[in-house]
Chains A and B, each alone.
Chain A
Amino acid sequence: MLSELDIKILNRVQSDFPVCSDPFSVLAIELDIDKALLIKRLSELQQDNTISRFGCVINHRKVGKSLLAALKVPHEKMEDTVTLVNAYLEVNHNYQREHAFNLWFVVTAATQCRLDKVLDELESKTGFPLLRLPMLKPHHINLAFDL
């Protein structure tokens, strides 16, 4: 269960994390709590996987190449296919969804050449045609959750 303090902390740390030598002091002052307590609580929330990652979110239109891919996977082949797809470090989100195209994932690479190579390999190794959906235009991105 999250406390009111946890919610206050989590609503703050999802974006605009301070880029300076002592970021937790800046946050502690802003949130009006003790810095050591803030770090302790954030470590705990990371350990119990409430926070899945602390880092930067990269704009893939400016850095590297990325696209959304989908496969139609027969039910009995799902587990094997997921293992195969997840083995690629270039695959960073992978969800089973309710649709004929039932496996959806994002593939990211430093170059278009490497991206194409990974996609071709995935297609040949899984044996299923791969839907390739690069982004043409973002209309909105807001991944912060208001708790």
Chain B
Amino acid sequence: MIPEEKKLNILDVLSAGIPVVEYPYKELAKQFNLQESELLGFIQDAITDGKIKRMGMVLNHHKLGFVANAMVVWDVPDCVVDKVGNILGKQKCVTLCYQRPRQLPEWRYNLFTMIHGKKRQEVLAHLSQIIDNNALHEYPRDVLFSVRKFKQGGARYVNE
């Protein structure tokens, strides 16, 4: 059995980076004084119970030419926010769709979507199409293109 506090530490290391070597899990298991099979079991369990959403490689979308990155935010009445969230989440070019609380008066928007594309015009065209196809014209929205990326990486759990 892996102690609870050690589990968070393992997840931290797993999200920060697994080495690209022939036997990556064996390598990591050594770091934690675990048998490889214990580590594999832990990861499988974490996937099954939803603590790990995805295992794999995260691409640098800038480097791949996806340089236009827009956070599109929407002000949708609470009574239809689930319905609109579902519609937006189903769009092929929408990579994320989260509901977050408004912070009035500073911030009125409660649905957050990310749209990536190779060009700004392409992202805006996708957005217009989504609005037209789903009759979303009535909901106030704002488009926040990224200007610069200062940090991109996995979440870290730091010991206090």
Contact = CB atoms under 8 A, between A and B. Distances in A.
Given A43-B20, A105-B151, A140-B90, A56 B52 contact: yes
B153 interface: yes
A21 B53 contact: no
B55 A16 contact: yes
B155 A114 contact: no
A139 B86 contact: yes
B147 A97 contact: yes
B54 A94 contact: no
Given A55-B18, A56-B14, A136 B154 contact: no
Report which residue of B18, B36, B53 has the largest number of chain A beta carbons within 10 angstroms of its beta carbon: B53
The interface size bin for chain B is: 35 or more
Contacts of A131: 103, 106-107
B57 interface: yes
A90 B63 CA distance: 24
A5 interface: no
A132 B103 CA distance: 8
A55 B17 contact: yes
A110 interface: yes
A75 to B, nearest CB: 11
Contacts of A52: 58-60, 152-153
A145 B18 contact: no
A15 B56 contact: yes
Interface string B92-105: 00111111110100
Q: B-side binding surface: helix, strand, loop or mixed? A: mixed
B54 to A, nearest CB: 4
Interface in A50-89: 50-60, 62-64, 66, 68, 70, 82, 85-86, 89
B140 interface: no
Contacts of B101: 133-134, 136
A127 interface: no
A135 interface: yes
Interface string A19-62: 11111100000000001000100110010111111111111101
Given A93-B151, A94-B150, A145-B116, A57 B57 contact: no
Contacts of A85: 150
B151 A94 contact: yes
Nearest to B156: A89
A59 B60 contact: no
Interface in A87-109: 89-99, 101-102, 104-106, 108-109
Interface of A: 2, 10, 13-17, 19-24, 35, 39, 42-43, 46, 48-60, 62-64, 66, 68, 70, 82, 85-86, 89-99, 101-102, 104-106, 108-111, 114, 129, 131-145, 147
Interface of B: 8, 11, 14-26, 36, 40, 43-44, 46-47, 49-61, 63-64, 66, 69, 71, 82, 85-86, 88-90, 94-101, 103, 106-107, 111-112, 116, 142, 144-160
